[in-house]
Amino acid sequence: MLVVAVTLSCFVGGFTQAGESIAINSNSFAAIAYSRSTGKYAYGYDYRSRKAAEKAALEKCDAADAFIANWVNFGFAALALGNDKSCVGIGYVYGNGCRVIDAKNAALEDCRKCTTGAYIAVVLSSDGQFRGDDRDHVTVIDKNGNVYDGYGRPIGATPSPSASKEASALGKASSEAGKDH
């Protein structure tokens, strides 16, 4: 009996050493949800159906106007945002040899059609092996000098009582969007 192993892979261009690739599960789906009223986004990944990935993303986004901005099977999905939060850009690539840089570039190009200041908010592989979330690199300082991460969680010292109320509201608004499944 002859057994042949096939590696399905997509290239993670721009994020790893040249030529490195990851083997993405071809049976995996990811989806990204977005709310224009709040600017929140959330995602689900490594689901076995588009419907399940979309449901997870919408639940995590937890906004009345949340919609599925992007989804992908066996590839990469990217969401770009800009100065006008009502405008989104999407990019996706799938199949053997797909590259994350292509998903990102497509999302940026799409976003620049309707707003300025386009940046990649999130990019991920359908199976979740690769995730780049802009919130992971954000620090927010409120008017009272309290410092929070991109998910609204306090960093460092305990916030002042007035800032705790602000943080609670901010944390509530973004906590679900920041959770992975």
Domain extents for the chain?
A: 10-130, 138-181
pLDDT (0 to 100) of residue 28: 98
Nearest alpha carbon to residue 40 among 169, 154, 176: 176
Rounded-to-integer distance, Cα 51 and Cα 40, Å: 20
18 three-class SS:
coil
Q: What is the DSSP letter of 98?
A: -
pLDDT (0 to 100) of residue 20: 58
Provide the Cα torsion 132, 176, 72, 64; round to 10°: -130
Write the CA distances from 56 to 47, 72, 101, integer angstroms: 9, 14, 25
Average pLDDT for the chain: 80
Q: What average pLDDT does range 14-27 have in this prediction?
A: 66
Q: Could you report the per-residue pLDDT of 46-78, keeping only the tens digit for each? A: 999 999 999 999 999 989 999 999 999 999 999
Q: Could you report the per-residue pLDDT of 109-121, keeping only the tens digit for each? A: 999 999 999 999 9
Percent of the chain with pLDDT over 90: 56
pLDDT (0 to 100) of residue 176: 42
Q: Could you report the per-residue pLDDT of 85-114, keeping only the tens digit for each? A: 899 999 999 999 899 999 999 999 999 999
Give yes or no for residue 42 having a pLDDT over 80: yes
Comparison of pLDDT for 18 and 150, the residue scoring more: 150
Give yes or no for residue 8 having a pLDDT over 70: no
Nearest alpha carbon to residue 174 among 74, 85, 60, 92: 60
Give yes or no for residue 3 having a pLDDT over 50: no
Which segments within the chain are labelled E, that is strand? Answer: 10-11, 21-22, 29-34, 41-47, 67-73, 75-81, 89-94, 119-125, 131-133, 139-141, 147-149
pLDDT (0 to 100) of residue 163: 47
Q: What average pLDDT does range 138-151 have in this prediction?
A: 74
Comparison of pLDDT for 163 and 95, the residue scoring more: 95
What are residue 138's phi and psi, to 5 degrees? -110, 140
Rounded-to-integer distance, Cα 170 and Cα 176, Å: 11
75 three-class SS:
strand
What are residue 153's phi and psi, to 5 degrees? -90, 135
Rounded-to-integer distance, Cα 163 and Cα 158, Å: 9
| Banded pLDDT at 84 (limits 50, 70, 90) | very high
Q: Backbone dihedral region of 145: left (phi > 0), alpha (psi from -120 to 50 degrees) or beta?
A: left
